[in-house]
């Protein structure tokens, strides 16, 4: 069934940074398997859910420091040096809430997922990547492909197996353009990729990409991004962060 196009729907696709996770029926065997394994949405969290400000629990494990150092160049594009560390901190929290996930896979995929932006035409990132029907924009597919190239370039030299690198690339390839997650690890990356926006640092950076004032931006986070979250843990974190950020930025008054 196709949804009639409305101005609201068009605005929504332009605002989202990653594809809606549950909007369409499963499109592949992997997506169907994930949907069957996790039929309740948002997916309940068997582990602890930490809703404190993300600055309280930075991505702490030093084992990824060499990977960070290998992609410093790629962090200097499109705010990746803000977006990626905050997303990784959220990914680590989500892994504690979902201990059945392969945490190393989630962490490495999250760290690398947007590094491909450094290898596409930078002038097209805002003009194509955040406008119109962005999911079909060639630049979005290109940044996913380039992100896989980065993963294949840096991970083997750091001791990661070919099989592990393939699994990382399976998640990176499609993280924005594929409609549905293929695994719990894929789902946790997708939620972490949204959660960073609710922190005030994410609001400061991402609102500028969309040319929005903070109040307009946080309104749209609540309306459009919260319903896209796949896991209950992410929903709890997003709600707590949104309340804090709205209070901190006085969005009820400055609008
Ligand atoms: Fe992306
Ligand atoms: Fe991202």
pLDDT digits (tens, 9 = 90+) for 22-78: 445 546 999 999 999 999 999 999 999 999 999 999 998 788 999 999 999 999 999
Nearest-CA neighbor of 190 among 202, 201, 181? 181
Q: What is the largest CA-CA distance in the chain?
A: 53
pLDDT value at position 54? 98
- 252 Cα to the center of ligand 1, angstroms: 30
Is the Cβ–Cβ distance between 141 and 111 less than 8 Å? no
- 2 Cα to the center of ligand 2, angstroms: 27
The answer on pLDDT for 12 being more than 70 is no
The closest ligand to the CA of 130 turns out to be 1
Fold (CATH) for 61-248: Hypothetical protein af1432 (1.10.3210)
CB atoms closer than 10 angstroms to residue 189 = 32
- 216 Cα to the center of ligand 2, angstroms: 21
pLDDT value at position 127? 73
Confidence of residue 17 (pLDDT cuts 50, 70, 90): low
- 144 Cα to the center of ligand 1, angstroms: 7
- Counting DSSP H helices and E strands in the chain, the numbers are 13, 0
CB atoms closer than 10 angstroms to residue 236 = 17
Confidence of residue 16 (pLDDT cuts 50, 70, 90): low
Nearest-CA neighbor of 13 among 123, 142, 137? 137
SS3 43: strand
- The set of long-range contacts for 74-77, using a CB threshold of 8 Å and a minimum separation of 24, is 74/115, 74/116, 74/117, 74/118, 74/119, 74/150, 75/115, 75/118, 76/118, 77/117, 77/118, 77/122, 77/125
Task: Sort 94 into a burial class: Cβ within 10 Å, 0-12 / 13-18 / 19+.
Answer: buried
The closest ligand to the CA of 191 turns out to be 2
pLDDT value at position 7? 31
User: Over the range 154-182, which residues count as b (16 or more CB within 10 Å of their CB) and which as e?
Assistant: bbeeeebeeebbebbbbbbbbbbbbbbbb
The answer on pLDDT for 198 being more than 50 is yes
pLDDT value at position 6? 29
**How far apart are alpha carbons 202 and 43 in whole angstroms?**
24
Whose tokens are 């949204």? That residue is: 194
- 48 Cα to the center of ligand 1, angstroms: 27
**How far apart are alpha carbons 228 and 21 in whole angstroms?**
6
**Ion ligand 2 — residues with CB under 5 Å?**
114, 193
Nearest-CA neighbor of 55 among 90, 106, 103, 94? 90
The closest ligand to the CA of 143 turns out to be 1
Confidence of residue 134 (pLDDT cuts 50, 70, 90): low
- 93 Cα to the center of ligand 1, angstroms: 20
- 178 Cα to the center of ligand 2, angstroms: 14
What residues pair up with 43 in beta bridges, in sequence order? Answer: 231
**For range 126-135, the mean pLDDT:** 68
* Share of residues in the chain with pLDDT > 70 (%): 86
Cis peptide before 14 (omega within 30 of 0): no
């Amino acid at each position: 069934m196709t949804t009639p196009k409305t101005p609201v729907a068009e605005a929504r696709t332009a605002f989202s940074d990653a594809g809606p996770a549950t909007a369409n029926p499963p499109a592949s065997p992997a997506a169907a398997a994930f949907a069957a394994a996790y039929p309740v949405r948002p997916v309940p969290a068997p582990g602890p859910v930490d809703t404190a400000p993300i600055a309280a629990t930075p991505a702490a494990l030093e084992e990824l420091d060499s990977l960070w150092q290998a992609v410093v160049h790629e962090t200097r594009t499109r705010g990746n040096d803000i977006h990626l560390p905050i997303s990784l901190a959220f990914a680590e929290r989500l892994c504690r809430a979902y201990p059945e996930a392969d945490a190393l896979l989630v962490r490495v995929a999250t760290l690398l997922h947007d590094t491909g932006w450094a290898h596409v035409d930078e002038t097209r990132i805002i003009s194509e990547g955040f406008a119109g029907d962005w999911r079909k924009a060639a630049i979005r597919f290109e940044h996913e492909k380039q992100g896989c190239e980065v993963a294949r370039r840096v991970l083997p030299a750091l001791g990661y197996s070919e099989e592990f690198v393939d699994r990382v690339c399976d998640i990176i390839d499609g993280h924005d353009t594929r409609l549905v997650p293929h695994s719990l690890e894929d789902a946790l990356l997708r939620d972490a990729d949204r959660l960073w926006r609710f922190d005030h640092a994410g609001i400061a950076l991402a609102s500028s990409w969309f040319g929005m004032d903070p109040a307009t931006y946080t309104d749209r986070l609540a309306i459009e991004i919260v319903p896209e979250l796949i896991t209950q843990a992410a929903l709890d974190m997003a709600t707590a962060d949104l309340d804090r950020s709205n209070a901190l930025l006085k969005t009820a008054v400055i609008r």
